[in-house]
Amino acid sequence: MSLAETTSAPETRSRGPVPDRLRAPWEAKLKSWESLLLVVAIGIFILNSFASPYFLNAWNLSDATFNFTEKAMIAFAMALLIIAGEIDLSVASIIALASTAMGLVMEAGFGTPAIVATGLVTGLLCGAFNGVLVTRLGLPSIVVTIGTMSLFRGISYIVLGDGAFRGYPSDFSFFGQGYAFWVISVELVIFAVLAVIYGVVLHKTNFGRAVYAIGNNATGALFSGIRVARVKMILFLLTGLMSGVAAVCLTSRLGSTRPSIASGMELEVVTMVVLGGVNILGGSGSIPGVVIAAFVMGLVTFGLGLLNVPGIVMSIFIGLLLIGVIALPRLWAKVRGRG
Amino acid sequence: MSFVKSREAILLAAIVLLLGLIATRFPAFITPHNLASVYSDTTPLMILALGQMVVILTRCIDLSVAANLALTGMVCAMINVAAPDLPVGLTILIALTMGAALGAINGLLVWKLAIPPIVVTLGTMTIFRGVIFLLSDGQWINAHEMSASFTGFPRQVILGVTVMGWIGLAVALLMALLMARTALGRSFFAVGGNPHAAVYTGLNVGRAQFLAFVISGALAGLAGYLWIARYAVAYVDIAGGFELEVVAACVIGGISIAGGVGSVLGTVLGAMFLGIVKNALPVVDISPFWQLAISGAAILIAVAFNARAGRSKGRVILKSAEHAQ
């Protein structure tokens, strides 16, 4: 191996330069990751409709959206966090803790507004905890959130043990089981609204540009007058808050809280973000990509479910998807580089 | 003097203090016999942590170790069911080889395709678990299906300590030798400490990371056989979430997640600390449900401690930038 090749080995970062304009020419748009993903999504959709006669049914398709709406809510905030060069592996545990807190408030006799507020505030507090450890103490976010991943879910286990909270008030089921109109569920509406908000924040505001700048060069961003620590703190808060929102939806949909709720979801959220074309090393990615990735993952799991594939086998597909999505373009580049 | 101030000495003091606290509530905990059994119980964690240590030293992380352990363990158990007369030595060899092969998959993806280790091992973690389900069809392999020599070997007692404990000690000594006395061992420190400098010294960073994953995988495979044989049962969810405990043991043991800093003794003590906490909880009447939260808190305290210890090193040129990060 030549020296030139090895020098780049330790910190290979396939980041492009920061574009000074957001709008790309139309042919570049056609070749983009998002359009490729869209083709994949349509392909899976067509494949599914041939594979199972039950697939093309408005209610079944509506059910399929529950496979990704909660995860996608977190994935939007996670996308921003990963673009800024950090990660939060504790999101599923935040759901567990928020859901447990909601259960405690419910047991104390409070109604739906208090329960929802508790879920959201717990999420925010967890996000703040992660954020303070990362931005104030300067600890690496991977280790911090691996730690809080045990800590948050651990607290749920301390509270609940092998028990569960049941008996949420009936109007609480609105968030996870309600429908806005016809087959459009409340969760799907929340998902769509959040997608638009995050899309605008990331792609149309100064804050969004700051997120990209930090991900590409945090020190450079600092010297350009961006308050790096504050932006990161806000991103951790947002991720916590979104986990709280997802906790409200998931708890409402399941109608109960167990300490094992949403276990392993952090993996699916990260997969969704990476599948959506966000660079895991930070610096690039888009919200439309994450939205399409959410649909792809929802369609795949729903299609496999219709074919009676067990959940754990589906997780093989998720794992392969996660590695394959990153590996294939790199393999392709290597092969082309050689030829 | 330098040992007194060292990370290992502080950790050792913490462990002694912990044992003292437990003894005030339950004196029988610190009898040699009980301590030996606590040590044996902690051996799988220690073996995995030693593998993880090498990976973290090279600036990577291996979250697939517990899934590797479960997959290799399941395969060992299935081989045992199919061929009960296979010598235990051969089973261990199979476990080491298979674990190393699974580790090599991680290593190759990190080395050749430069995919971030956390992504690779999050992926392989779920894939390995899924493969166990495919292999076993979701069925359990229970004690009565395994041969007596298969399950009995790790539990034999020599000089008051189980064979499993002795294997753990052998692994720790071999790793200490590897890390301190061989070029490969030193290269792990060099690669993690400063990858660019390592390249100019003629070291291949990717290759070192690959070998670290192979070592971690082989040790996970070994622990897989020991685990399955010790508990005499194999199923899909064995050692679920154990990877976090392994990372916790390393972080508590003073392995810097930024790479290049750590020691075998620290890792062993980190694993022992967690093992003692785990075994002491039931005897001092604390629900085992506390354990997850305790190891989480221990990770956070340890990593904050590591960061403080490491901060004064090196010359800070840009103070404001340093603090903003």
Residue ranges of domains in chain B, CATH in brackets: 2-309 (1.10.3470)
Residues of B with CB below 8 A from A327's CB?
A: 109, 113, 115
Each residue's pLDDT tens digit, B280-321: 888 877 887 888 888 888 888 888 877 766 554 444 455 554
With b for 16 or more beta-carbon neighbours within 10 A and e for fewer, the B83-94 pattern comes to eeebebeebbeb
Residues of A with CB below 8 A from B274's CB?
A: none
Name which of A6, A143, A319 is nearest B123 (Cβ-Cβ): A319
**Averaged pLDDT, A218-224:** 91
| A85 closest CA partner among B316, B62, B187, B325 | B325
Each residue's pLDDT tens digit, A241-256: 999 999 999 999 998 9
Phi-psi category of B240—alpha, beta or left, where left has phi over 0 and alpha has psi -120 to 50? Answer: beta
**pLDDT of B95 above 80:** yes
Each residue's pLDDT tens digit, B128-181: 999 999 888 888 888 888 888 888 888 888 888 888 999 999 999 999 999 989
- Alpha helices per DSSP H over A133-286: 141-160, 174-177, 186-204, 206-216, 218-223, 228-254, 265-275
Please report, for the domain that includes residue A243, its CATH number.
1.10.3470.10
| B255 closest CA partner among B184, B179, B323, B325 | B179
Each residue's pLDDT tens digit, B10-68: 889 989 998 998 888 888 888 888 889 899 999 999 999 999 999 999 999 999 999 99
Residues 6+ apart with CB under 8 A from B19: B29, B30, B276
A43 found inside a domain: no
**Averaged pLDDT, B231-237:** 86
**pLDDT of A74 above 80:** yes
Residues of A with CB below 8 A from B61's CB?
A: 142
H/E stretch holding B325 reads: none
A149 found inside a domain: yes
| Three-class secondary structure of residue A20 per DSSP | coil
**Averaged pLDDT, B181-200:** 90
Interface probe with B: pick from A150, A279, A304, most Cβ of B within 10 Å: A150
For residue B245, the chain A residue with the least C-alpha distance is A150
Of A16-30, A131-145, A228-242, where does mean pLDDT reach its minimum? Answer: A16-30
A281 found inside a domain: yes
A53 found inside a domain: no
Q: Do B115 and A326 touch (CB under 8 A)?
A: yes
> Rounded to 5 degrees, what are φ and ψ at B232?
55, 40
Tell me how close the Cα of B112 comes to any Cα of chain A, in angstroms: 9
Please report the beta strands in chain B, taking only residues with DSSP state E, as ranges in sequence order.
157-158, 161-162
A102 found inside a domain: yes
**β-strand partners of A257:** A165
pTM of the model: 0.84
Amino acid present at A45:
F
Name which of A6, A316, A322 is nearest B131 (Cβ-Cβ): A316
> Rounded to 5 degrees, what are φ and ψ at B87?
-60, 145
Residues 6+ apart with CB under 8 A from B169: none
Tell me how close the Cα of A196 comes to any Cα of chain B, in angstroms: 28
Measured CA to CA, the distance from residue A23 to residue A33 in angstroms comes to: 15
ipTM above 0.85, yes or no: no
Top mean pLDDT of A124-138, A258-272, B72-86, B251-265 is at A124-138
Tell me how close the Cα of A155 comes to any Cα of chain B, in angstroms: 6
Contact A48, A306 (CB under 8 A): yes
Instruction: Tell me what the pLDDT averaged over chain A comes to.
Output: 86
Q: Does B4 touch chain A (CB under 8 A)?
A: no
Name which of A87, A161, A322 is nearest B123 (Cβ-Cβ): A322
Contact B45, B275 (CB under 8 A): yes
Q: Which two tokens stand for residue B75?
A: 């395969």
**β-strand partners of B141:** B234
**DSSP secondary structure string for all residues of B2-22:** HHHHSHHHHHHHHHHHHHHHH
CA angle B242, B248, B252 (to 5 degrees): 150
Contact B11, B266 (CB under 8 A): yes
**β-strand partners of B126:** none
Residues of B with CB below 8 A from A267's CB?
A: 122, 125-126
Tell me how close the Cα of B107 comes to any Cα of chain A, in angstroms: 13
> Rounded to 5 degrees, what are φ and ψ at B74?
-60, -45
Tell me how close the Cα of B282 comes to any Cα of chain A, in angstroms: 14
Total structural domains in chain A? 1
| A85 closest CA partner among A241, A225, A228, A202 | A228
Each residue's pLDDT tens digit, A153-168: 999 999 998 888 988 8
Tell me how close the Cα of A76 comes to any Cα of chain B, in angstroms: 18
The per-residue pLDDT for A233 is: 96
Residues of A with CB below 8 A from B133's CB?
A: 310, 312-313
Q: Do B126 and A280 touch (CB under 8 A)?
A: no
The per-residue pLDDT for B32 is: 87
Q: Do B123 and A142 touch (CB under 8 A)?
A: no
Each residue's pLDDT tens digit, A3-25: 443 444 444 444 556 655 555 56
For residue B290, the chain A residue with the least C-alpha distance is A158
**pLDDT of B199 above 50:** yes
Q: Does B323 touch chain A (CB under 8 A)?
A: yes
Residues of A with CB below 8 A from B318's CB?
A: 219
Residues of A with CB below 8 A from B121's CB?
A: none
CA angle B286, B289, B291 (to 5 degrees): 80
Q: Does B236 touch chain A (CB under 8 A)?
A: yes
Residues of A with CB below 8 A from B131's CB?
A: 316
Name which of B61, B122, B300 is nearest A144 (Cβ-Cβ): B300
SS (H, E, C) B137-170: CCCCECHHHCCHHHHHHHHCEECCEEHHHHHHHH
A120 found inside a domain: yes
Residues 6+ apart with CB under 8 A from B256: B56, B262, B306, B310
Measured CA to CA, the distance from residue B106 to residue B100 in angstroms comes to: 10
The per-residue pLDDT for A95 is: 96
Q: Do B321 and A149 touch (CB under 8 A)?
A: no
Measured CA to CA, the distance from residue A151 to residue B3 in angstroms comes to: 32
In terms of residue numbers, what domain contains A115?
Answer: 64-333
Interface probe with B: pick from A3, A217, A274, A312, most Cβ of B within 10 Å: A312
A270 found inside a domain: yes
The per-residue pLDDT for A4 is: 41
A303 found inside a domain: yes
